């Protein structure tokens, strides 16, 4: 076990499972701290894989490739929460894996995740496991319509969710996700939350349990994909912000999380905060921290898994706004007018270096700091308006 990553002066290599933009931005932070990275991802030319000679492009399902990745890594983390737990356990026999396989087991299945949170006293919407269409009807009868049917595993950006507005939709929603015999899916149902805002808080926690807690932000979604992140979340009382941070910390502690975590919550129409879900990795709602905070979520993730002291997550400006740059077509991964963006000389532009775009795919993001969220959002929208695909 590594006592300190800087013990003997030899560069330490952080192995990252997944090679997308989250791994890329984590790798940038690692390099800045004098560390190196190894990437495993079942793809050539991944955004993070391209940054290192330790690029394992056959992915973790290939035994020999996984073996080579383990050999190249001193400590292992992930950017992808869908890595099967047995694979994480296998790596953990040889290397420290953070977040731990046990944390990932508690998080990967949304039903187990919600049970874990509820058992820790965290406020969650009513929910139940749904193992048959009849149990779906029973849930609707008990908790009313609409409700949300969710796949317990492998859901992202709303894929895996269906809103059931009346009883005769239960069967369709259930069979839609469970009819493929090759992809066995377990389902759960959750009461529909009428919310004013969706909130998120990033929390970094190291192996000693030390914390860095970022501000409460508002996430604005369109078609289930995050469009904007507003930091700090506007129009909230100080008490609500603090409550969101407390719930986020409790959620990370409930799963004994080490690393950085994004905790998503609802602010209901009655002013209550309800937990939605936790991302056991750097999260889109924390990208603004690269320019907006003393210490970015990526740096604190690396520090946390290396058991280093954490940096402050406080904002360095009154406000920061992040806008996702989403693909608008199938084609090149670079917008046609990309250079126009650089004329906005106070906008920080990140292009992830993905080879191809798809409609709705996260291709990059931009961040603007400002004297207020309104001002920063207006600048972000002006910059976005110059991007054409």
Which spans of this chain sit near ligand ADP (rule: CB under 6 A)?
125, 148, 150, 155-158, 160-161, 190, 192-193, 198, 221, 224, 264, 276-277
Give the count of alpha carbons within 13 A of 327, CB side only.
18
Q: Which residue has the tokens 């004994």?
A: 256
How crowded is residue 342: how many other Cβ atoms within 10 Å of its Cβ? 11
Task: CB nearer to ligand ADP: give 198 or 299.
Answer: 198
Q: Report how far Cα 214 is from the mean position of its chain's Cα atoms.
A: 14
Nearer to ligand ADP, 89 or 126 (CB): 126
Q: Which residue is nearest to ligand ADP (CB)?
A: 193
β-pairing verdict for 217-222 and 211-213:
unpaired
Q: Which residue has the tokens 């149902």?
A: 189
To the nearest whole angstrom, how small is the minimum distance from the Cβ of residue 226 to ligand ADP? 8
Largest CA distance in the chain: 65
Task: Give CA–CA dist 354/361, Å, rounded.
Answer: 10
Supply the minimum distance, in Å, between the C-beta of residue 309 and ligand ADP. 32
**Cβ at position 221, least distance to ligand ADP in Å:** 5
CA distances from 340 to 316, 349, 356 (A): 27, 11, 20
Residue placing its CB nearer to ligand ADP in the complex, 155 or 318 = 155
Contacts of 170 (CB under 8 A, 6+ apart): 133, 136, 137, 140, 149, 164
| Residues contacting residue 274 through CB under 8 Å, at least 6 positions apart | 123, 124, 125, 193, 195, 265, 266, 268
By C-beta, is 141 or 224 nearer to ligand ADP?
224
**With respect to ligand ADP, which residue has the nearer C-beta, 95 or 118?**
118
Would you say 225 or 340 has its CB closer to ligand ADP?
225
Nearer Cβ to ligand ADP (49/262): 262
Give the pair of three-digit tokens for residue 179. 């009819």
Taking the complex as a whole, the smallest distance from the CB of residue 228 to ligand ADP amounts, in Å, to 13
Closest approach of ligand ADP to the CB of residue 192, in Å: 4
For ligand ADP, give the closer residue by CB, 58 or 157: 157
By CB atoms closer than 10 A (0-12, 13-18, 19+), residue 162 is buried
Looking at beta carbons only, is 224 or 355 nearer to ligand ADP?
A: 224
- Give 163's strand partners: 148
CB burial of 289-306 (b: ≥16 within 10 Å; e: otherwise) equals bbbbbebbbbbbbbbbbb
Residue 329 gets which letter from DSSP?
A: S
Minimum CB separation of residue 222 from ligand ADP in Å reads: 10
**What is the smallest separation between the CB atom of 224 and ligand ADP, expressed in angstroms?**
5
Q: How far is the CB of 147 from ligand ADP (least distance, A)?
A: 8
Minimum distance from residue 185 beta carbon to ligand ADP (Å): 14
Range 19-36 burial, b when 16+ CB lie within 10 A, else e = bbbbbbbbbbbbbeeebb
């Amino acid at each position: 076990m590594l006592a300190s990553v800087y013990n003997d002066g030899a560069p330490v290599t952080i192995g990252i499972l997944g090679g997308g933009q989250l791994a890329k931005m984590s790798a940038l932070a690692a390099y800045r701290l004098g560390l190196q990275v190894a990437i495993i991802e079942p793809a050539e030319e991944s955004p993070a894989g391209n940054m290192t000679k330790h690029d394992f492009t056959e992915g973790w399902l290939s035994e020999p490739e996984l073996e080579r990745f383990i050999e190249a890594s001193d400590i292992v983390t992930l950017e992808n929460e869908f890595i099967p737990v047995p694979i994480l356990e296998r790596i953990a026999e040889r290397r420290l894996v953070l977040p731990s396989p046990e944390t990932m087991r508690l998080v990967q299945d949304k039903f187990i995740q919600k049970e874990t949170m509820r058992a820790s006293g965290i406020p969650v919407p009513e929910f139940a496991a749904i193992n048959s269409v009849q149990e779906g009807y029973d849930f609707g009868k008990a908790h009313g319509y609409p409700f949300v049917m969710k796949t317990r595993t492998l859901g992202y950006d709303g894929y895996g969710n269906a809103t059931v507005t009346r009883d005769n939709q239960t069967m369709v929603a259930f069979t839609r996700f469970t009819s493929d015999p090759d992809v066995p899916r377990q389902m759960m149902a959750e009461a529909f939350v009428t919310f004013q805002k969706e909130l998120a808080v990033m929390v970094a926690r190291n192996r000693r349990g030390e914390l860095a807690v970022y501000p409460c932000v508002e996430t604005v979604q369109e078609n289930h994909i995050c469009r904007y992140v507003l930091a700090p979340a506007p129009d909230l009382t100080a008490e609500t912000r603090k409550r969101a941070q407390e719930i986020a910390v409790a959620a990370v502690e409930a799963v004994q999380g080490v690393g950085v975590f994004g905790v998503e919550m609802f602010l209901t129409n009655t002013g209550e905060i309800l937990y939605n879900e936790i991302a056991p990795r750097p999260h889109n709602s924390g990208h603004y921290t690269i320019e907006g905070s003393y210490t970015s979520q990526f740096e604190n993730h690396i520090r946390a898994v290396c058991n280093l002291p954490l940096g402050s997550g406080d904002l360095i400006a009154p406000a920061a706004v992040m806008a996702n740059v989403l693909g608008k077509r199938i084609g090149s991964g670079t917008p046609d007018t990309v250079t126009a963006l650089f004329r906005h000389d106070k906008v920080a532009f990140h292009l992830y270096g993905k080879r191809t775009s798809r409609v709705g795919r996260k291709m990059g993001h931009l961040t603007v700091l400002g004297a207020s969220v309104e001002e920063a959002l207006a600048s972000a929208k002006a910059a976005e308006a110059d991007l054409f695909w």
